[in-house]
Amino acid sequence: MEVPTLQTLPTEILHTILEELRLSANADSETVTSTEYSDFSRRCALSIATVSRRLRLATAPWTFSTVHNLNAGNRESSSSVPPTSLWRFVRALYVRDYSYVQERPIPVDNTLLGTLENMPVLTTVTLYLRRAVPPDFFYALGALTTLSALHIYQAQIDDGRLDRSLMRFESLQSLTLRIAGPTTVARAPDVDTNTEQQNIHQILLSIKWPRLATLTMTEHPPLQHLPLSVLLLRMPALSDLSLLFTPDAHHQAQRFPPFYLVSPTDSLPILDNLRSLAISNCAFEDPLLRKLPRSLTSLKLLALWDVLDPDFPPWPIDGLGFMREFRPPQARWALLFDQVGTLPALTTLYVTIGEFAPLASFVDAIAAFAPALHTLEIRFPAPDEPERLMMVDLTQGEPLFAALRTLPLRHLCLFTDYIYAGMHPGPPAHSAYQLLAELPGLETITYRFGGWYSRESDTVEFVWGRGMLGRPPPPRAIRHVDQHAFAPEYVP
């Protein structure tokens, strides 16, 4: 039998190997300086492509399936259009009008839009624009019959009124509208919010989305109420909905949570198609929480805030967290779960609470609410400085173990927020070991540490599996943290 070589491998297997290499490789420090450029790490194919013409042709569809307009030319180039020879390979296109690595603007004009219809396998477009998204972008993207995913970051949609008759998006399956960009969520001071709100309503409420399955909207809530009753009727295939709104300190009214996603006067349609729901800073009295379908499999009840917003007030007020996010006490969540009743299909639950560490009674309420749960993440504020060792002892003994054992948990995550992620106590292996030892069905225990003044990408994560039980128990210890080592702007 002939031994297969790279030259004789089927193209599909070669692409699988390359993808595994990409996922396992460390980010290239010259190009991947942030998560903004994480899709650039495809250089592992270049060496293979130089071996022979056959391998060059075989690797090209994988190598150039993801293209960024900022690498389409050089500093002197007046165009950011990818070379014509690559168009037939492009499946995902990232469009930016500024390079934070090279600190230079990138030209984005209608020339780039004109190439989209000539990319026959293009399915995903992601926009990072520091200026308003021109109406022509929506018209050109909406006309693409192959486009299944559109993600708009740094969203500013106030460049004139949109004409709904020119927007179709008949093939789109996933849509993301997000204010945040690579550096901050702070918006330009001259945003025409009235025009923008009208355009958002035109996009979401005035056209039909026959195939849209995933909708994600983040950061500040719309100034004008977005009626979910109308929205959901326009999206009959919607199964994954994320409305992740944050406090809005920039608005003259300083809009702080809790927010209502559904007005008490709105009538919600039946949500039987919904499988995944993620909401942030939502009021307990919101009718949406009383209409959760019994077929729901994933529910995320979050309390997000503006990351690195320089004008945000860094202090709590009654009922809200450090960055004015809505962190209800465990007892209030337990009451809500009891009012909603059992969700028998729910397998994934994320919930943010206002006190340090979950209590056994809270876990009991979760078990009654979601008896089939196998993935649970509980997020909470860090303990006061004298109680830092509690992070290592975050087990609370047999009552908590007993409550957790009533759930068929396979994955447990405990997520703690400090002022700055770097203040975390180090890997709490002592606690992880105890949890794995006491919960025989648990496959992984994850500890995450974030910070109110830290980016999402700065989150510190430690993960242990059952393999650690084959080693001696770790010591009960925490990392010393010198708070004076942190920049003054991070520690008020």
The pTM is what?
0.85
Q: Is the pLDDT of residue 242 over 50?
A: yes
130 backbone dihedrals φ, ψ, rounded to 5°: -80, -15
Q: pLDDT confidence of 111, banded at 50, 70, 90?
A: confident
Q: How confident is the prediction for the chain on average, in pLDDT?
A: 81
Q: What is the pLDDT of residue 333?
A: 96
Q: Where are the beta strands (DSSP E) in 71-129?
A: 92-96, 98-99, 104-105, 124-128
Q: What is the pLDDT of residue 331?
A: 94
Least confident of 36-45, 108-117, 229-238: 36-45
Same domain, 348 and 206: no
Q: What is the pLDDT of residue 47?
A: 66
Q: What is the pLDDT of residue 83?
A: 82
Q: What is the pLDDT of residue 492?
A: 38
Q: Is the pLDDT of residue 26 over 50?
A: no
Q: Is the pLDDT of residue 92 over 60?
A: yes
Q: Is the pLDDT of residue 486 over 70?
A: no
In a domain, 154, yes or no: yes
Q: What is the pLDDT of residue 29?
A: 33
Same domain, 48 and 96: no
Q: Is the pLDDT of residue 484 over 80?
A: no
Same domain, 26 and 164: no
The enclosing H or E element of 364 equals helix 360-369
How many domains does the chain fold into?
3
Residue of higher predicted confidence among 177 and 492: 177
* Distance of alpha carbon 432 from alpha carbon 446, whole angstroms: 8
Q: pLDDT confidence of 419, banded at 50, 70, 90?
A: confident
What tens digit of pLDDT does each residue of 287-337 get?
A: 899 889 999 999 999 998 876 555 555 555 666 777 788 999 999 999 999
Percentage above 70 pLDDT, the chain: 77
Same domain, 7 and 132: no
Q: Is the pLDDT of residue 120 over 90?
A: yes
Same domain, 68 and 58: no
In a domain, 221, yes or no: no
Same domain, 352 and 389: yes
In a domain, 196, yes or no: yes
Q: Which two tokens stand for residue 356?
A: 């340090």
Q: Is the pLDDT of residue 403 over 60?
A: yes
Q: What is the pLDDT of residue 439?
A: 94
Mean pLDDT of 21-48: 50
Same domain, 133 and 176: yes
Same domain, 342 and 444: yes
What tens digit of pLDDT does each residue of 420-454 get?
A: 888 888 888 988 999 999 999 999 999 999 988 78
Q: pLDDT confidence of 410, banded at 50, 70, 90?
A: very high
Residue-number span of the structural domain to which 137 is assigned: 64-185+192-212
Residue of higher predicted confidence among 389 and 113: 113
Mean pLDDT of 53-78: 68
Same domain, 341 and 203: no
Q: Is the pLDDT of residue 218 over 60?
A: yes
Residue of higher predicted confidence among 280 and 132: 280
Q: pLDDT confidence of 186, banded at 50, 70, 90?
A: low
Mean pLDDT of 358-363: 92
Q: What is the pLDDT of residue 24?
A: 58
Angle made by CA atoms 267, 286, 209, in degrees to the nearest 5: 50
DSSP 8-state assignment for residue 222: P
End-to-end Cα spacing for the chain: 70
In a domain, 256, yes or no: no
In a domain, 102, yes or no: yes
Q: What is the DSSP string of 230-298?
A: HHHHH-TT--EEEEEE--BSSSTT-B-S-B-SS-TT--PPP-TT--EEEEESB-TT-GGGG---TT--E
Same domain, 477 and 345: yes
Residue of higher predicted confidence among 185 and 168: 168
In a domain, 38, yes or no: yes
374, 411 Cβ separation under 8 angstroms: yes
Q: Is the pLDDT of residue 267 over 60?
A: yes
Q: Is the pLDDT of residue 370 over 80?
A: yes
Phi-psi region of 446 (alpha: psi -120 to 50; beta: other; left: phi over 0): beta
Q: Is the pLDDT of residue 377 over 70?
A: yes
Q: Which of 53-67, 149-163, 245-259, 359-373 has the highest mean pLDDT?
A: 359-373
| Nearest Cα residue to 445 out of 455, 460, 434, 457 | 434
Same domain, 21 and 163: no
- Choose the final residue of a domain: 17, 37, 63: 63
Same domain, 49 and 153: no
Q: What is the pLDDT of residue 411?
A: 97
Q: Is the pLDDT of residue 401 over 60?
A: yes
* Distance of alpha carbon 364 from alpha carbon 404, whole angstroms: 8
Q: Is the pLDDT of residue 38 over 50?
A: no
Residue of higher predicted confidence among 78 and 201: 201
Q: What is the pLDDT of residue 193?
A: 80
DSSP SS3 for 171: coil
- Choose the final residue of a domain: 22, 45, 63: 63
- Choose the final residue of a domain: 9, 28, 63: 63
In a domain, 316, yes or no: no
In a domain, 255, yes or no: no
Q: What is the pLDDT of residue 192?
A: 84
Q: What is the pLDDT of residue 25?
A: 52
